[in-house]
Amino acid sequence: MGRQWTANPPFTSSNLVAASIPFRVFLLVTAVLMLVAGYVFGNPAAILSKAINICLECIGIG
């Protein structure tokens, strides 16, 4: 047969939360660095207008 799935995985949700904290910190630091780089290397107003246009297109308003 194949692999049999069990109702209780070998890890608990508390282990998952503890393991994901460094990853979440890494994502937060990366996001902040990308925001700073976008502000320093580009025109912030142009970046904001592009972001607004993309969001409105995805929603279907624009």
pLDDT digits (tens, 9 = 90+) for 2-50: 566 666 656 555 655 666 888 889 999 999 998 888 888 888 888 888 8
Residue with structure tokens 């580009």? 42
Q: Is residue 6 part of a domain?
A: no
Number of domains in the chain: 1
Task: For residues 62 and 59, give the distance between their C-alpha atoms in angstroms, rounded to a whole number.
Answer: 8
The pTM of this model reads 0.48
Q: Is residue 18 part of a domain?
A: yes
Q: For 18-37, b where at least 16 C-beta lie within 10 A, e where not — what string?
A: eeeeeeeeeeeeeeeeeeee
pLDDT of residue 6: 61
More confidently predicted of 4 and 58:
58
Give 61's pLDDT tier (boundaries 50, 70, 90): confident
Q: Is residue 17 part of a domain?
A: yes
Q: 30: domain range? A: 13-59
Q: Is residue 3 part of a domain?
A: no
Q: How far is CA 22 from the centre of its chain?
A: 14
